[in-house]
Amino acid sequence: MSKVAVIYWSGTGNTEALAGFVADGVSEAGGEADVVQVSDFDKASLASYDAFALGCPAMGSEELEYDEFQPFWDDTKGSFGEKKVALFGSYEWAEGEWMDTWKADAADAGVNVVDTLIVYDAPDAEGETQAKALGAKLV
């Protein structure tokens, strides 16, 4: 069974809601998901997962959250190898440029990004469906 880590940062709960739907998608596709806030994730456990869904909203000025998520990303982006990785997050003020930057950074680091998802504000029914589909792609 594919074991997927859903690791996220969320200030007001929108990306957290997406993380839950991504995990639902993993489970519905027959995988097993651990949903963990980035501050609680033990980087030593990275090797025990088959795939990863990483969630962070647009923060700063079209940036990843700088205090917890950006350091996590910087520390781990060289460690995913060929494992499948999906990136997701919520935004509200602009058009999603932070995800373009994040994708480009992942490509530079050689991360195997299978898909990305950006959702405006709190996920609605369409966002829920998209997040579940994202999770299923990791199984």
Ligand X SMILES: Cc1cc2nc3c(=O)[nH]c(=O)nc-3n(C[C@H](O)[C@H](O)[C@H](O)COP(=O)(O)O)c2cc1C
User: Which residues contact ligand X by CB under 6 A?
Assistant: 10-16, 57-62, 90-94, 121
User: Which residue number, 75 or 100, has a Cβ lying nearer to ligand X?
Assistant: 100
Pull the structure tokens for residue 127: 């966002």
Structure tokens at 100: 């373009």
Residues in contact with 100: Cβ distance below 8 Å, sequence separation at least 6, in sequence order: none
Q: How far is residue 82's CA from residue 64's CA, in Å, rounded to a whole number? A: 23
Which of 14, 116 has the CB closer to ligand X?
14
- Minimum distance from CB of 113 to ligand X (Å)? 20
Nearest approach, Cβ of 44 to ligand X (angstroms)? 26
**Closer to ligand X by Cβ: residue 74 or 121:** 121
Q: Taking the complex as a whole, how short is the minimal distance between the CB of residue 94 and ligand X, in angstroms?
A: 4
Task: Extract the tokens encoding 47.
Answer: 């090797």
